[in-house]
């Protein structure tokens, strides 16, 4: 009998367009019944439906991955979080590593066998208030001097903002891969992005990273889902920041597969009965903050 230790998965890259998802009552209640009670509670506490949908999609992506790749029945999957908030599969002898991110119009998932993985997505958009220059001033300590030179070398304000979010996605992907949480000093890591310009849908692996002024051999996959959404996937094998340099196996590149709602819940099995009040709670929320709704 094959054990989970010997189960092999294809490297997985999934994206779900959660901002364009408009769930009706039946869909939303079905989704809520297919996640763990604490996940359902956490999702219900979001103030805006935009964020509730993204969080729900993230949890469903993880359960879909485990159900379909590790062949664990959906309703028997138990997920928990580390002290730093990174989700993991409980009580299963598997080397499957996965991570999710949601921001802008998409929720994304990246999964690998036998190596650390972190994923982050960022949407290039104008700051909620104030100018781009003021926004950069407030974020000054999040990047090194060389990174700011790279960001501000772009020709237009919009291109500078785009490069800013590209750097941000890279940094967050590494932070999420090693699971160190929010207290990590982002100036300890420095990126040299390459190429400067990216094409939609194409995977790039040329970007390099330095940690505490030492070049690291982490692999960073970058892809543009569309003109505004940068995705970065960090891949490494070390168990800590002080561990050995990772050696990533050569694998065939694969871009993100955009899932439909039917794809997302294809393996779903309800874990609890429907809760009508959960739909009432969802309907009572605004989609986005008033300021953003007005600008749109």
Is 168 buried (19+), middle (13-18) or exposed (0-12) by CB count in 10 A?
buried
Residue 128 lies in a domain: yes
Instruction: State whether 241 and 160 are in the same domain.
Output: yes
Give the model confidence (pLDDT) of 74-109 as tens digits: 999 999 988 877 888 887 777 889 999 999 999 999
The CATH number of the domain holding residue 98 is 3.90.470.20
Write the DSSP symbol of residue 178. Answer: H
pLDDT classification of 2: cutoffs 50, 70, 90: very low
Q: Which residue has the tokens 């739909």?
A: 279
Residue 144 to residue 215: CA distance in whole angstroms: 15
Instruction: State whether 94 and 128 are in the same domain.
Output: no
Q: Does the pLDDT at position 290 exceed 70?
A: no
Instruction: State whether 70 and 138 are in the same domain.
Output: no
The structure's pTM equals 0.89
Q: What is the domain count for the chain?
A: 2
Residue 254 lies in a domain: yes
Instruction: Taking residues 104-122, report their average pLDDT.
Output: 95
pLDDT classification of 243: cutoffs 50, 70, 90: very low
Let me know: does 87 contact 100? Beta carbons within 8 Å: yes
Percent of the chain that is helix, strand, coil (3-state, to 5): 35, 20, 40
Instruction: State whether 128 and 215 are in the same domain.
Output: yes
Residue 14 φ then ψ, to 5°: -120, 150
Residue 178 to residue 192: CA distance in whole angstroms: 20
Instruction: State whether 25 and 129 are in the same domain.
Output: no
Domain range spanning residue 199? 116-248
Let me know: does 147 contact 193? Beta carbons within 8 Å: no
Residue 2 lies in a domain: no
Residue 184 lies in a domain: yes
Let me know: does 93 contact 3? Beta carbons within 8 Å: yes
Task: Concatenate the DSSP letters of all residues of 54-65 into one string.
Answer: HHHHHHHHHHHH
Give the model confidence (pLDDT) of 165-210 as tens digits: 999 999 999 999 998 876 788 889 999 999 999 999 999 999 999 9
Give the model confidence (pLDDT) of 13-68 as tens digits: 999 999 999 999 999 999 999 999 999 999 999 999 999 999 999 999 999 999 99
In Å, what is the CA distance from 250 to each residue of 12, 108, 215, 246, 253?
15, 23, 20, 12, 9
Instruction: State whether 184 and 260 are in the same domain.
Output: no
SS3 52: helix
The pLDDT value given to residue 1: 29
Instruction: State whether 168 and 258 are in the same domain.
Output: no
118 forms beta bridges with 234
Is 267 buried (19+), middle (13-18) or exposed (0-12) by CB count in 10 A?
middle
Residue 1 lies in a domain: no
Instruction: State whether 63 and 159 are in the same domain.
Output: no
Instruction: State whether 69 and 94 are in the same domain.
Output: yes
Instruction: State whether 144 and 70 are in the same domain.
Output: no
Instruction: State whether 102 and 168 are in the same domain.
Output: no
SS3 113: strand
The pLDDT value given to residue 201: 93
Let me know: does 46 contact 286? Beta carbons within 8 Å: no
Residue 65 lies in a domain: yes
The pLDDT value given to residue 128: 79
Residue 290 lies in a domain: no
Count CA within 13 A, CB hemisphere, residue 12.
24
Instruction: State whether 241 and 133 are in the same domain.
Output: yes
Residue 121 lies in a domain: yes
């Amino acid at each position: 009998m094959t054990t989970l230790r010997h189960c092999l998965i294809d490297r997985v890259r999934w994206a779900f367009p959660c901002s364009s998802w408009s769930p009706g009552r039946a869909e939303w209640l079905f989704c809520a019944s297919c996640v763990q009670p604490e996940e359902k509670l956490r999702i219900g506490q979001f103030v805006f439906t935009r964020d509730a949908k993204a969080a729900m999609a993230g949890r469903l992506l993880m359960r879909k991955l485990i159900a379909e790749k590790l062949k664990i029945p959906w309703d028997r999957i138990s997920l928990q979080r580390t002290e730093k908030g990174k989700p993991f599969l409980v009580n299963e002898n598997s080397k499957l590593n996965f991570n999710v991110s949601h921001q802008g119009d998409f929720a994304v998932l990246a999964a690998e066998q036998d190596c650390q993985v972190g994923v982050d997505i960022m949407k290039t958009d104008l700051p909620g208030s104030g100018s781009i220059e003021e926004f950069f001033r407030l974020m000054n300590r999040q990047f090194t001097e060389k990174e700011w030179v790279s960001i501000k070398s772009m020709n237009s304000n919009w291109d500078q903002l785009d490069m800013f979010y590209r750097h941000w996605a890279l940094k967050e992907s590494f932070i999420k891969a090693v699971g160190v949480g929010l207290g990590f000093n982002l100036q300890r890591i420095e990126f040299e992005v390459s190429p400067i310009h990216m094409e939609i849908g194409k995977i790039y692996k040329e970007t390099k990273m330095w940690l505490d002024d030492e070049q690291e051999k982490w692999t960073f996959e970058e892809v543009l889902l569309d003109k505004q959404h940068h995705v970065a996937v960090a891949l490494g094998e070390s168990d800590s920041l002080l561990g050995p340099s990772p050696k990533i196996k050569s694998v065939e590149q694969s871009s993100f597969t955009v899932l439909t709602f039917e794809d997302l819940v294809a393996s779903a099995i309800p874990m609890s009965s429907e809760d009508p009040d959960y739909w009432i709670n969802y309907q009572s929320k605004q989609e986005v903050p008033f300021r953003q709704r007005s600008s749109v």
